[in-house]
Structure 1
């Protein structure tokens, strides 16, 4: 079994990301690859710092794979159209509306998002403030990552559809059809997107979104085939 780590939705929580990486650094398999499952931005206080750290790590040659999440894609679509509303959201919301948390991402780039500012002015400032390098990095993020033993994806997979025919909207947004399906994918599917109180292992998938976007800890996991171990101050805890 080839060891590999996974880190779920970060949502601008730079301190939690540092803690997760420190936990990995103390593990016996610290040099193994890490897959980040997307949603680097929104809700937390420092989305910019999260992207800076991930980009720097990759530039230094670290074996890090960063997948695209729905919130990351939302940032790009806001820059193209500030009034864009993703049809997958449960109700009509702009990215800058509080439930989605885009305003906190913009604030991390120094954009004034104070109440009463016109959206067009916020958008104009965002176009100037967000580096093109960040936008290009997000745009080229892969939508899934395969190993012999796992499939990594942000949200999940649509049952009955071959991996290379999966639609991007499903890969970054799907919930019920994927979460409710109890069949075997042939490999363990490792995903985030649907927040829990703590990551949880199921017979056919591992949900790594432990709710860091809502202030809960960001636990990394070590994967050995279909076995999963959360890492924290006390070392490994088997799921």
Structure 2
């Protein structure tokens, strides 16, 4: 896992004493600001930071979430000893849907694919960047050339906001501490597959995640930030789920873990 060939897919947190993890945000910018204020107040030397995906979708101000993520990243990188690799952004389901949306012209059945995307909340992201479901459908109906024109336009609208596209490019599939103590994922893993073969399990989850009853691949804890029922903070001997339902009328959750996998601090902010 430490090979350079995985650098663009996985984040490696080196020299970490503790790791902060922020659960699915779903566009709730105000709650994220509060979480960041609390993390800043409680920060210790040797802390690292992982965002567990789903920055987009549902909330009141998606673009402000990206702006806040960028601002806090700069703030933390000003701390002594911090390097860019100490802060990792994971790809969530919402970001994976957006990635597919930007390639909609390549889909064999684009209307069906777009219907599925709308059912999974991509409409909020469209609105945030000045697009609409109705207009998108019009381009899709006109065919591949029109759809390509539209996806290029959406790309440009995202690029108009400094740093937004940079976050999307920098997304990682998973993150782990250098010594192999902690593994951070978006929605889950298949416990029967090695980390490098998980692929879609990272952002769509796996039904057997809840059944993990032995250390997965030697990690002391696997920590995820999204669970479809938004059941709050759930701790088992070998896994932790952080999802209080941010964007769904619940709370935005963040927690800090030591290398033993123990929760040493926790933040919960209503949305």
So what's the TM-score if we normalise by structure 2?
A: 0.72
Aligned length, in residue pairs: 225
- For structure 1, the 5+ residue unaligned runs are 234-239
| Structure 1 counterpart SS, 2:32 | helix
Shift of 1:52: 2.4
1:75·1:95 contact (CA, 8 Å) conserved in 2? no
Pick the structure with greater CA Rg.
2
Shift of 1:12: 0.7
Give 1:188's aligned residue: 221
- Which of residues 83, 94, 105 in structure 1 aligns to 2:115? 94
| Structure 2 counterpart SS, 1:19 | helix
2:50·2:88 contact (CA, 8 Å) conserved in 1? yes
So what's the TM-score if we normalise by structure 1?
A: 0.81
- Check 1:109–1:94 CA distance in 2 against 1; reply closer, same or farther (3 A cut): same
Q: CA RMSD in A?
A: 2.9
- Check 1:181–1:121 CA distance in 2 against 1; reply closer, same or farther (3 A cut): same
- Check 1:49–1:95 CA distance in 2 against 1; reply closer, same or farther (3 A cut): farther
- Which of residues 148, 158, 175 in structure 1 aligns to 2:190? 158
- For residues 46-61 of structure 1, the aligned pairs below 5 Å read 46-59=61-74, 61=77
- Check 1:170–1:121 CA distance in 2 against 1; reply closer, same or farther (3 A cut): same
- For residues 141-180 of structure 1, the aligned pairs below 5 Å read 141-147=171-177, 148=179, 149-163=181-195, 165-180=196-211
Alignment partners' CA distance in 1, 2:26 and 2:222? 21
2:54·2:93 contact (CA, 8 Å) conserved in 1? yes
- For structure 2, the 5+ residue unaligned runs are 1-15, 79-85, 141-146
| Structure 2 counterpart SS, 1:222 | strand
More helix, by proportion: 2
Could you list the runs of 4 or more consecutive aligned residues of structure 1 that deviate by over 6 angstroms after TM superposition? none
Shift of 1:72: 0.4
